[in-house]
Structure 1
Amino acid sequence: MGNLKTVKTAVPLFLLVIMLAAVPAFAQIDFSGEWAPNGNEDSIGNPYVGDWLGIPMSDASRARGEAWAASVQTLPEWQCRPHGFAYINRGPSQLRISKEVDPVTRQITAFHAEWLRSVDNAIYLDGRPHPPEYAAHTWGGFSTGEWEGDTLKITTTHLKEEYLRRNGVQHSDLITITTYWIRRGDILTWLNIVYDPVYLTEPLVRSQEYRLILNQQIPPYPCNVVEEVDRPKGVVPHELPGTNTFITEFANKVGVPEDVVRAGAATMYPEIRSKLRKPSK
């Protein structure tokens, strides 16, 4: 009789354990997979020099932008460099996200994000701290993640100086990025909030949408340095202050006053429309 009572008690407990095991762990959303950019954002590949709308550029940032010469990318040391973490999610490349799973707890301990032309970007979820300020800065930086409900919040530091937009808009190596991954079925929203005390006067908020592609395969990216332009040794393409004739092309093409293009943080807000040139009749 005692054995029968034990069995009657054990069976419901066993079923309860099975039911709980079938429920996903709280806030463990799976972002792994092959993702393709929707490409419905602003110009991300090769924007006009001088297209500074929507970016809270500081005076130092505008000075860097005015000195920009696109041919700098033909230098040998530029040809095979990967895109940095602050920019690459805005690029046209496909994205692969893989995951690391603890074999005992079966919890996700890290994600890895990789694009066609990037380094492996690890996002650690195991609670490890960020390294000290003097630690090495890399193209991918150092990223940790924490769950906020079913959204993954990522904090990235220790990035090399790199561009935010491929037309001379730079960020410094003091940059910090807060990223949010939000998944809705086959759609991944990647939201970046960029903080830079050197080149930004306010946080820069940008987003990108990706769609899950089941048969996608990101190819390898072999890169060989070649002599693209015959120039004297040691010459670095640049523009001296006041000599860059290309920075006004964008404003002239789209019919926006140059002072609006150069207005920095104000261009992020709708009030800037009051300064736009009225169309001619």
Structure 2
Amino acid sequence: MLNRVGALALILVASATPAFAQMELSGAYTSRMYEDYIERGPGEFMGNFTGMPLTDDGRAKALLYTSNLPSTYERQCLAQGVGVFQYRPRGVQIVKELGPSGTDVIAWILAGDNLRGELRIWMDGRPHPSANAQHVEGGFTTGRWQGDILVAETTHVKASWIRRGVGIPASDESTMTTFISRHDDLLTIITVQRDPYYLSEPHVVSRVWQYDPRGNQFEDGICVTGNEIPSLEDTGQVPHYLPGKNPEENFMVRTFNLPKDAAMGHAYTLYPEYRKTIRNTYVPPAACGTRAPGYCCGWIERQGLPGGAPNLSCNDGGFGQLGPRGRTAAEGSNR
């Protein structure tokens, strides 16, 4: 009898404990702007497709884009892509949804905001919908644990943009694999995006956030439209560039002396071997401040945080500490 009671007690204890010690991911995480400052902060330069494995169709569609397009009424509140959190300065809020028992996690949720739907990762074994099912802003995602790493697969997304601000497209057939891991107070999220139409290879992005117990990243507010560009009011115009007419197509060439194929998102330029092909011809700019002062030195000087990036220096061409718009040489550094 005692043996039976003991066995029953062991069963109850085992049932109240997860099959293995799952990593606790829930909480608020803030972005660290010293990592990929331009991508996560002000956004990339127009005409900069570096680091992107674009197909010819993806490149052509991206070059039709103008930054005025999101300012039209119809697009101001249009939900951004499911993986766009990798390119934004906002933090991440992760919430776990418990099942009826109150102990099993049936979903992990990366909370959304007024421009991005939530990423709900189902953990209860449900299958993905059929290929003909409705596509929604947040897509449909299922997850599984691979050791201490949460691996999620996302399908059924809507067409959107991959990299914010420069028009790199994502079709509604794109998929995303997400790897989420936590090491002490640091959260690492790696996304691998595939697109049969616009990407010639998987597009991989890795970002790090830091746990912030005082953070409140819930920003799922109401998006309100407004007249952002008066000259477009009641014109019916859709801002765009015709093929071959984008004035920013050569921006990276004239600004940073980059070869055009490096700036236009050709997959072969992503690999280290490409450096050997331009070793004898590439001439870097003398200083970044004379070419792109609004972005020069990034988080080191522009965030207003004393000692934000210690022991790092930046050749800004004598422009001094940069304000929100940068400075001209005549303005000096004592203003």
Bigger shift: residues 271-280 or 138-147:
271-280
| 1:105–1:22 Cα change, 3 Å | closer
Structure 1: how far apart are the matches of 2:265 and 2:160?
A: 22
3-state DSSP of counterpart to 2:88: coil
Shift of 1:12: 6.6
Is residue 55 of structure 1 aligned with residue 49 of structure 2?
Answer: no
Question: 1:173-209: CA deviations, max 9, x gaps?
Answer: 1101111111111111111111101000111111111
Bigger shift: residues 244-253 or 11-20:
11-20
Letter of the aligned partner of 1:255 in structure 2? N
- Equivalent position of 2:149 in the other structure: 151
Question: 1:73-103: CA deviations, max 9, x gaps?
Answer: 1101111223221222321111111011224
2:24 alignment partner, one of 17, 30, 35: 30
| 1:22–1:105 Cα change, 3 Å | closer
Letter of the aligned partner of 1:207 in structure 2? S
Shift of 1:227: 1.6
Is residue 142 of structure 1 aligned with residue 140 of structure 2?
Answer: yes
- Equivalent position of 1:183 in the other structure: 182
Structure 1: how far apart are the matches of 2:262 and 2:101?
A: 57
TM-score when normalising by structure 2: 0.75
Shift of 1:252: 2.0
CA RMSD of aligned residues (A): 2.4
1:261 alignment partner, one of 260, 263, 288: 263
TM-score when normalising by structure 1: 0.89
Structure 2: how far apart are the matches of 1:237 and 1:50?
A: 16
Q: Answer 1 or 2: which has greater strand percent.
A: 1
Structure 2: how far apart are the matches of 1:250 and 1:58?
A: 19
Q: Given that residues 188 and 208 in structure 2 are in contact (C-alpha distance below 8 angstroms), is that contact kept between their aligned partners in structure 1? A: yes
Unaligned runs of 5+ in 2: 287-335
Shift of 1:24: 5.0
3-state DSSP of counterpart to 1:240: coil
- Equivalent position of 1:174 in the other structure: 173
3-state DSSP of counterpart to 1:109: strand
Unaligned runs of 5+ in 1: 1-5
Give the structure, 1 or 2, with the largest relative contact order (CA under 8 Å, sep 6 or more).
1
3-state DSSP of counterpart to 1:89: helix
